[in-house]
């Protein structure tokens, strides 16, 4: 196919200092050309012409598209000026309105503006979305994207065209982004609602389907990051709590406690938290403050649910009284921390870190069963083992 259509573009105005250009199309010609040679060929022509003369190669804005007789302009920008974050197109597909700019990348068009902010996703956009290989939002609009994820996660559950595996995959990916946000801003008071909005869709998949844990096990992130660790502990705790027949309200609280269990690490020197290898005695003493800090942070969110606070505060207590921060014994430790500590240890053992490889789940469970029976609640651990081997 020939792209020799220079007449298509009536003007290109450069401002090379900033690597920005404005290209203006004759709109009718552009439409006809696209009609003849498929959608977005006009943009390819534009790019070829512009790229030949500068290093500008990303289209970021359609500025004018009012009447067909008039012209259509595109602002173009050097790709290095664009800071983009990936967007999950499966969630975008379920939305009706999007309040941030969306960029699409595919082989033919490279990068172009796919949706203006506050656009409606109609049938046409939906079908085009199928062909976009990757889509992005501006990093500067990350908050809007995060809010969008938070508000649309629930709608995935209502989509009957998705299988359970697809649903858990979408929910885990979005929840991972949102948990990252939660741990990046540990002092944000909205975290109380955010933690609930992350847990609810996961819980829904668990309550309404048999053996959802096997779907989650396929997609759980086995590289250790604080946020994925917390999310994994939350997934395990929700499944385990469900096996232990907790009601929906209790499960929501348990999932939130598990999600927030390590939030107190944000108050500890990152050099200690991220240290590769064993901590010195002094560093370990500092580290032992994280359940207390976590409890204080959760309190500052105005979380009043005693079970959530206890889940965070006591998750390193051990049944034999050798845990921290309060050396509590079996009877003094609540149900939530007992559940969370089993899930916490299992996830820590089965994830990779730069200084250690991941254990297989069988090895991890064997180790827990044989060496930690004075720390962990035996019947909870047994239920956990049964659940993973269903």
Q: Which residues bind Fe ion (CB under 5 A)?
A: 262, 344
Q: Which is nearer to Fe ion, 262 or 377 (CB)?
A: 262
Q: Which is nearer to Fe ion, 41 or 340 (CB)?
A: 340
Spatial contact of 14 and 21, defined as CB atoms under 8 Å apart: yes
Q: Which is nearer to Fe ion, 152 or 318 (CB)?
A: 318
Q: Which is nearer to Fe ion, 146 or 262 (CB)?
A: 262
DSSP secondary structure, 156-197, as one string: HHT-TTS-HHHHHHHHHHHHHHHHHHHHHSTT-TTHHHHHHH
Q: Which is nearer to Fe ion, 177 or 262 (CB)?
A: 262
Q: Which is nearer to Fe ion, 42 or 337 (CB)?
A: 337
At residue 117's C-alpha, the angle toward residues 111 and 119, to 5°, is 100
Reported as half-sphere exposure (CB side, CA atoms, 13 A), residue 381 has a value of: 21
Spatial contact of 166 and 80, defined as CB atoms under 8 Å apart: no
Q: What are the beta bridge partners of residue 261?
A: none
Q: Least distance (Å) from Fe ion to the CB of residue 286?
A: 13
CA nearest neighbour of 215 among 257, 165, 140, 148? 165
Q: Least distance (Å) from Fe ion to the CB of residue 161?
A: 36
Q: Least distance (Å) from Fe ion to the CB of residue 272?
A: 13
Residue 290, H or E segment: helix 290-300
Coil, helix or strand at residue 10: strand
Contacts of 140 (CB under 8 A, 6+ apart): 83
Spatial contact of 255 and 175, defined as CB atoms under 8 Å apart: no
Q: Least distance (Å) from Fe ion to the CB of residue 209?
A: 27
DSSP secondary structure, 252-279, as one string: HHHHHHHHHTTGGGGGS-HHHHT-SSPP
Q: Least distance (Å) from Fe ion to the CB of residue 202?
A: 18
Q: Least distance (Å) from Fe ion to the CB of residue 294?
A: 8
Q: Which is nearer to Fe ion, 170 or 260 (CB)?
A: 260
| Cis before 325 (ω within 30) | yes
Spatial contact of 109 and 40, defined as CB atoms under 8 Å apart: yes
Q: Which is nearer to Fe ion, 42 or 323 (CB)?
A: 323
Q: Least distance (Å) from Fe ion to the CB of residue 108?
A: 46
Q: Least distance (Å) from Fe ion to the CB of residue 229?
A: 6
**Residue 2 carries which DSSP code?**
-
Q: Which is nearer to Fe ion, 42 or 311 (CB)?
A: 311
**Do you know the residue count of the chain?**
390
Q: Least distance (Å) from Fe ion to the CB of residue 38?
A: 51
CA nearest neighbour of 151 among 113, 95, 213, 207? 95
**Cβ–Cβ contacts within 10 Å for residue 179, how many?**
24
């Amino acid at each position: 196919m020939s792209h020799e259509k220079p007449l298509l573009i009536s003007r290109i105005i450069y401002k090379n200092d900033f690597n920005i250009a404005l290209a203006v199309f004759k709109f009718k010609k552009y439409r006809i050309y696209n009609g003849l040679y498929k959608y977005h060929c006009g943009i390819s022509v534009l790019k070829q012409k512009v790229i030949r003369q500068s290093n500008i190669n990303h289209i970021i804005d359609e500025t004018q598209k009012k009447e067909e007789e008039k012209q259509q302009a595109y602002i173009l920008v050097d790709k290095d000026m664009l800071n983009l974050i990936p967007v999950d197109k499966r969630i975008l597909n379920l939305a009706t309105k999007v309040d941030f700019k969306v960029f699409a990348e595919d082989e033919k068009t490279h990068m172009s503006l796919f949706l203006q902010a506050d656009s409606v996703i109609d049938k046409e956009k939906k079908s085009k979305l199928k062909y976009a290989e990757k889509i992005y939002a501006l990093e500067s609009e990350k908050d809007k994207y995060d809010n969008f994820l938070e508000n649309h996660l629930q709608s995935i559950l209502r989509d009957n065209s998705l299988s359970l595996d697809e649903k858990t995959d979408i929910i885990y990916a979005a929840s991972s982004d949102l948990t990252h946000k939660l741990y990046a801003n540990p002092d944000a008071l909205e975290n109380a609602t955010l933690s609930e909005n992350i847990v609810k869709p996961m819980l829904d998949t668990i309550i309404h389907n048999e053996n959802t844990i096997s779907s989650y096990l396929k997609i759980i992130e086995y590289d250790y990051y604080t946020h994925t660790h917390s999310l994994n502990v939350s997934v395990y705790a929700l499944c385990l709590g469900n096996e232990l027949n907790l009601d929906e309200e209790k499960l929501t609280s348990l999932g939130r406690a598990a999600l927030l269990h390590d939030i107190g690490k944000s108050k500890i020197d990152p050099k200690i938290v991220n240290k590769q290898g064993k901590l010195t005695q002094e560093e370990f003493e500092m580290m032992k403050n994280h359940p207390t800090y976590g409890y204080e942070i959760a309190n500052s969110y105005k979380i009043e649910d005693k079970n959530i606070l206890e889940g965070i505060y006591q998750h390193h207590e051990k049944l034999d009284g050798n845990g921290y921060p309060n050396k509590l014994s079996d009877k003094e430790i609540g149900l939530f921390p007992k559940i969370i500590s089993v899930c916490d240890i299992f996830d820590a053992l089965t994830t990779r870190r730069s200084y250690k490889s991941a254990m297989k789940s069988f090895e991890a469970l064997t180790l827990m069963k044989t060496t930690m029976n004075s720390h962990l609640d035996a019947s909870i651990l047994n239920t956990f083992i049964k659940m993973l081997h269903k």
